Amino acid sequence: MGRESTFFFDRNTARAAADAAKGRWSTAKPFPHVVIDGLLPDEVVRDAARAFPRAEHPGFKRRDYAEQAARFGQLQRRAFEGVAPELRHLLNEVNGMVFLDLLSRVSDVEGLIPDPHFTG
């Protein structure tokens, strides 16, 4: 992803993908969901998978916030310290305006807001 250019969601492409997937959202079982093939370029997926820490990574065994008291298994780092740049960028993109608009169009849930601190 970072080799030649950085990936950003394209608003028109995302809208077209959302409109094409919209009907599948509400009829999906066992809960509303949708899979959108090709939404991310293969290179972005491969780079993110390579960058994602393995289950034994110490970051999965630490808590950054008090509300995580019973929640291990989340790689949550304050300000993304130590998170690979390609993964950090992808997380910011799926937390950004274009992707949230896609989710709103697919789900008919208006007013989705980002979580810039990734506290859930």
pLDDT tens by residue, 6-49:
899 999 999 999 999 999 999 999 999 999 999 999 999 999 99
The proportion of the chain whose per-residue pLDDT surpasses 70, expressed as a percent, equals 76
**How many angstroms separate the CA atoms of 10 and 101, rounded?**
11
In this prediction, residue 53 carries a pLDDT of 80
- How much is the pLDDT for 79? 60
- Residue 107 predicted with pLDDT over 90: yes
67 pLDDT band, cuts 50/70/90, is: low
* Proportion of the chain above pLDDT 90, given as a percent: 57
CA nearest to 39, candidates 29, 28, 48, 52: 48
pLDDT beyond 80 at 82: no
**How far is CA 13 from each of CA 33, 43, 81, 104, 113, rounded to the nearest angstrom?**
19, 17, 31, 15, 21
